[in-house]
Structure 1
Amino acid sequence: MKTLLASLLLTLPSLAQAGDYDGMVRASLLPGWRLPNGDHMAALRLELADGWKTYWRTPGDAGIPPSFDWRASGNLEGVFVSWPSPDVFWQSGMRSVGYKHEVTLPLRLRLRDGHRDAELHGVIDIGICKDVCLPQRLEVSATLPASGAKPDPRIAAAMADLPYGAEDAGVTSVDCEIGPAQRGLGLSVAIDLPGATGQEETVIEFRDPELWVADPETSVRNGQLVAKTRIRHMANPAFALDRSAMTLTVLGGRIPVEIRGCD
């Protein structure tokens, strides 16, 4: 993946030194509230200067993938990041997926002891882009009080902006066809999605971080939304594709939809 990331960075419109653009993004933690089962809801808030954007979990070939390091935290076992519905951007003929202005990423935290305060410390590596694209490293810290029980409306609003599940969106079938392609496999996904317009963009992900997935070509054919892509393994030219491990996200249409697995 490091080799792939390096090659992608070389294709970005222009890379600059982060020090030349300090202050283009600001990060903070919303301490949130303690849940009845002992987990804690918090959020990472990113605020961007005018005209700047940052990237979604799968940023596209023109984006920089975000990463999070929470190892310096106290009373913490795990962090699950939720991703509100992003926008699709085009720059220099390349697609990226992300957010502009600001974004709040809900964090569900599993604690070692749900009756005690927790200390959340994160080192966040993200990319930001305007006329130039550059990586940014941000550090955030906050105390998460065990006594906090009142939900934060900013976090609740971000949770409400997550993509719909397939059932809630009225998806009735998701069919996959897999065949050989140059240096990998070709994948075509046909979705029965009510209200599809042909203006949608799709993102296809797999759990295996060594799989590279091209930005899909998306269209409406015979009443179905069809996404076609190419997949290759970064280390092994011969590989099996687990279709149940696929996540397909539909953006830019009537509603955002996240679909897991296919027939």
Structure 2
Amino acid sequence: MTRPTKCPKCGGELVTIYKTFEVDGHRAENVPVLTCPRCSIFLLDTQLFIDITERAEDFKDKDQLLEELREIKEDEEIRDILKQYTFQNHIKEVLNERGISLRRLANMLDVSPNYIHILTKNQSTSIRTALKMAYALGVDVNRLYTLRRIDEEYKEPSKTLYTRISKEEREQDEKIKEELKKMNVKLYVDEVLKKKGLRRTQLAARLDISPQEMYNIVKIRKGSTGIETALKMAYAIGVDVNELFRLEEVEKEVGE
């Protein structure tokens, strides 16, 4: 995270001074601190607390405190990076590459062509719909949706190709439609977090959402989670989105 150069209160130039702090009764000298001479305020951030703690004499649980502070710092850096990104769909590109019309994709998903048209305008959708589109088109979901910087422009194809489909293709489309009706999204967020040595609260901090919101995603929304959130979750953890959300055949309940 880039340190500020302007005072958030008056807009004046910030300067660096060196101060002495005490941590648990131990002195930490010559610690650089940003201050505004006009407002006489000091800006403290996680890195500063790390600097202070590192400069302090040894004290009980110093290493543990430093580890926790560095963990918080990493979470903040990931959060600040993700704030610069949004999602981008590549539906039209993939349709043209695969030689599949928008109407044909809509039929496989059992939705209206207008709905798919809306999605091509970068309208948000759920990770469930994104995974089902990927399945229908025979591509990875990362080919359909990616993260892009907010300040970057994306120029989508002006139109999608129209191609006639054969009887065999129509039959294949109907088969895919029936397969998709039996499938739903299963989450593996907790399993991946455990494997990575992370906690839900950490992931929430990296996404800049509350722990309750994180709980809702994992336990309530599940496959209804928005595609942008799903992609950012994957980035925040450092894994592929397919490791967190998988399209699987729904097992029938006993007695059905």
TM-score by length of 2: 0.26
Determine which structure has the larger strand proportion and give its number.
1
Which protein is bigger by CA-based radius of gyration?
Answer: 2
- The TM-score normalised by the length of structure 1 is 0.25
